[in-house]
Chains A and B, each alone.
Chain A
Amino acid sequence: MIRDITIGQYFNSTSPVHRLDARMKIILTLIFIISIFLCKNFASLGLMVAFAFFIVLLSKVPLKMVLKSMKPIAIIVVFTSLLNIFYIRGGTPLIDWKFIHITSNGIFTALFMAVRIASLVVVSSMLTYTTTPTMLTDGLEKLLSPLKLFKIPVATLAMMMTLALRFIPTLVDEIDRITNAQKARGANLDDGNFIQRVKALVPIIVPLFISSIRRAYELADAMDCRCYTGGPGRTRMKQMKFHASDFVSLGIMAIFIAGIVVLNHFFGAVLVK
């Protein structure tokens, strides 16, 4: 059961979004995040939400899964909205009772904030739903490669990330094994208050650390034997290539941004100064 974990939250499919180059997807995600904060009125906000929906539908990732990624941030959204409702001043006063002052600006800001955070999470989770961790690492390595000029070892950092991803399932297995071994020796991991349970983790974490260090040594030998030097001169089997679809997607994104700018211009800002 535990062997079947998937690293990250990749959803396997062959949708047009999945087939885009990882580098392009990272760039598009960044552009989209900026566009979220460009929206000034309900028309452009509506367009932004519609576009986010369009991406989700195009990616064929079930809506349920996408909504699941919203769960952890629901509290933050509600909390910031409430704060905004009560503390933002300006615009038409709606309620003015004792210490509670609610204005139209407060309501609008709260609404905008909630929609913005939700879209931000949905769109950035689309990146991880449609791109394998390996492709994501390769894409980041390529995108960050100009940093080599500043002597930042991008390739080495990418290698570290790949190794970390590679060893997550192995270490999960290991934790499972150690936990069972300690239970067999009578360790009580499930009872007691919070502090007792944290303390009970020590006999699991210490062996895990020791075995990880041992693994690291062996891995280093194995990598040495396969001529890894961490230096230049390394080639890659999989070459990343931009396809026509990548440029089409960039074009669609450009049209979307233009749409936001136009709607912002024609409908004016919602918030009253």
Chain B
Amino acid sequence: MNDKSIIQFNNVSFAYELNDEEATVKPVFNGLNLSVPEGQFLAVLGHNGCGKSTVAKLINSILVPSDGTVTVDGLDTSDDSKITDIRRTVGMVFQNPDNQIVATIVEDDVAFGPENLGVEPSEIRKRVDAALKAVGMYEFRLAEPHRLSGGQKQRVAIAGVLAMNTKCIVLDEPTAMLDPKGRKEVMDTITMLNKERGITVILITHYMDEAVKADRVVVMDKGSVVLDGTPKQVFKNVEQLKALGLDVPQATELAYKLRKQGMNLPDDILDEQECAEAILAALEVK
């Protein structure tokens, strides 16, 4: 990992314009600062309406900030002439797998991005095959998308982003509509892409167990960053997270409750294994 940041939010303010009678604008952020180094796996947490999805849309220039700047690989997202360059740097995967697949055959859908970029047909073929193999969907390349499971569709969507050779993938609650099996498939794919290919991943989620897998966790509330650090640093703050209406991973929760009962446990437990070992150690000391 190097220190160069691929995505930079500088003092970003944003408000949705509403047509309601009472309020004409609904502010989402006021002076948000966030910087994501290349190669990082960042999880963005927050309860509904805290501006998580807006962050995603700002990165990909679907929305532009009303004040401040968002830069992607040094390119300003409010510069219309750079939109294609920005979007070929940062790919996006949305929540509903059905609403982002455009073709009637899997491989045609994966080819959609590179086709739009005007890539040579033979090169597209290579990229499509490579992307489908990377997400483990190669044998489904001729399938019709509506016959796939939710997790498979999301992997196709990820392949579609990979085929554009993006450096960074933003996933906006990609697992929210999936069953546990599909969720695992998607998370394994994301983790693999980050660890093996060095692709920067920004995962917007409300599943704590997914956030644990990230290098860094950012917790947002009312349009600002309230906690920022490694999963261990962030999930230590059990009380603060609960006050924000968020959960903590189950193992962390258990350790927290036991600690409250006077058991001597560390405060940075994240998974079941750690938790079990810590409890065992604490019991042996007694």
Give chain A's interface residues, CB within 8 Å of chain B: 3-4, 7, 132-134, 162-163, 165-166, 169-170, 173, 215, 218-219, 221-229, 233-239
Contacts and interface: CB of A to CB of B under 8 A. Distances in A.
A226 B121 contact: no
Contacts of A233: 118
Nearest to A233: B118
Contact of A218 (B99, B103, B108, B124): B99
A56 to B, nearest CB: 26
A235 B115 contact: yes
A222 B98 contact: no
Given A235-B119, A238-B108, A222 B146 contact: no
Contacts of A170: 98, 146
B112 to A, nearest CB: 6
Interface of B: 57, 60, 62, 84, 87-88, 91-92, 94, 96, 98-105, 107-108, 111-121, 124-125, 128, 144-147, 160-161, 164
A237 B87 contact: no
A186 to B, nearest CB: 27
Contact of A236 (B60, B99, B115, B161): B115
23 contacts: A3-B147, A134-B103, A163-B102, A165-B104, A166-B101, A166-B102, A166-B103, A170-B146, A215-B96, A222-B99, A222-B102, A225-B60, A225-B62, A226-B112, A226-B164, A227-B84, A227-B164, A229-B84, A234-B118, A235-B115, A235-B119, A235-B124, A237-B107
Given A162-B102, A166-B101, A227-B164, A3 B146 contact: yes
Nearest to B85: A227
Contacts of B101: 166
What are the nearest 7 A-B pairs in CB distance? A222-B100, A169-B146, A237-B111, A218-B99, A237-B124, A226-B113, A227-B116
A227 B87 contact: yes
A224 B146 contact: no
B116 A134 contact: no
A141 to B, nearest CB: 13
Contacts of A169: 144, 146
Contacts of A165: 104
Given A221-B62, A229-B116, A166 B100 contact: no
